[in-house]
Amino acid sequence: MTASSSVEPRAGAPASTIISVRDLRKRYGQLTAVDGVSFDVAEGEVFGILGPNGAGKTTTLEMIEGMRPIDEGSARIDGIDVRRDPREVKRRIGIQLQSSAFFDELTLVELLHLFGQLYGRDVDPQALLGLIELTDKAKSQVRTLSGGQKQRFSIASALVNDPRVLFLDEPTTGLDPQARRHMWGVIRRIRGEGRTVVLTTHYMEEAEELCDRVAIMDGGRIIALDTPQALVDALIGRGFRKERVERLANLEDVFIDMTGHDLREDD
């Protein structure tokens, strides 16, 4: 199946295309990591890229962000050609990398000010920390944060330049169920501010929760691209039925019911 270039209008606002990717390719020697990927993302959309490890999700993301050279094809963000002007693109986007490492000896407030300077902006650290609910850790050094807190902080650091598009590479990998749900709340809030979000994930449930549309990648290609509901409907339309009787709850529902939605101290 070829990638769809049609964009679904979102209710209320007329959707305009903010990301446009055409025939993107990346080769490492014999291996073609990304093999002709094309898609569009509408402004305000949450767009998910799904796929098994090695499918080319991160490479695709990094080429669009200007973090990795594009071998072939093109990517435009907000009208800017990434190949031609990666720095202008970086000015307009926020990036959360898969490994959320920072300068360990600096405090959260110091880091947010520093990142602001890298964009030539003065930032309001308290507002950013409020968004990710880390206000009480403002004066702590990064090395004292837990994995989930680091992941949330890396989202705050990606927002210092008030970006129109936010890229999140596996934002919830390695988090416990509470921290994951908390992260979903953060992402919805960011979407609520009118920003476009592109994320990769291994969790289908997360994609269903958050994404307006998803692209499924395998072997460097997009093999499906649509809304989660449309993809499910299409599968059922092909005659697919789950063998098990549908349960009204699953183990995660039990876990959350018994341990609550609240984040834990050490998270």
Partner 1 sequence: MRLGVLWALFIASAKMFVRNRAAVFFSLFLPLIIMLIFGVLNFEGSTSIELGIVDEAQNDASAALVERLGDYDYLVISEGERDAELAALEDGDRGYVIAIPADWAPPAPGSESGLVAYASNADPAQAQVGQGLLQQAVGQALFAPAGGGTDEGSGFAAPLQFESVESRDLGYIDFLVPGIVGMTIMQLGLFGVAFGFVQLKRTGALRRLFATPTSPAYFLSAQVLSRLIIGIVQVAILFGVGIWFGLQMFGDYLSLLVIVLIGSAIFLAVGFAIAGWAKNEDQAAPVANLVSLPMMFLSGVFFPRDAMPDFLASITQFMPLTYVNEALRAVVNEGAGLLSLGPQLLGMGVWVVITFVLAVVMFRWE
Q: Which residues bind partner 1 (CB under 8 A)?
A: 65, 67, 87-88, 90-91, 95, 97, 99-106, 110, 113-115, 117-120, 141, 154, 157-158, 161
Q: Which is nearer to partner 1, 106 or 263 (CB)?
A: 106
State the nearest-atom distance from the C-beta of 148 to partner 1, in Å: 17
Distance from chain centroid for Cα 88:
20
State the nearest-atom distance from the C-beta of 110 to partner 1, in Å: 7
Other beta carbons within 10 angstroms of residue 109's beta carbon come to 17
**Structure-block tokens of residue 29:** 């020697």
From CA 104, how far away is CA 160, in angstroms rounded?
19
Q: Which is nearer to partner 1, 65 or 206 (CB)?
A: 65
State the nearest-atom distance from the C-beta of 238 to partner 1, in Å: 41
State the nearest-atom distance from the C-beta of 2 to partner 1, in Å: 31
State the nearest-atom distance from the C-beta of 98 to partner 1, in Å: 8
Whose tokens are 């269903």? That residue is 208
Q: What is the CA radius of gyration of the chain?
A: 19
For residue 211, give the nearest of 193, 232, 197 by alpha carbon.
197
Q: Which is nearer to partner 1, 157 or 172 (CB)?
A: 157
Q: Which is nearer to partner 1, 38 or 200 (CB)?
A: 200
Q: What is the dihedral of CA 99, 102, 104, 108, to 10 degrees?
A: -120
For residue 267, give the nearest of 179, 139, 187 by alpha carbon.
179
Q: Which is nearer to partner 1, 95 or 231 (CB)?
A: 95
**Structure-block tokens of residue 158:** 């990606």
Q: Which is nearer to partner 1, 67 or 223 (CB)?
A: 67
For residue 2, what are the CA distances in angstroms to 99, 209, 225, 251, 253? 31, 25, 8, 36, 36
State the nearest-atom distance from the C-beta of 66 to partner 1, in Å: 9
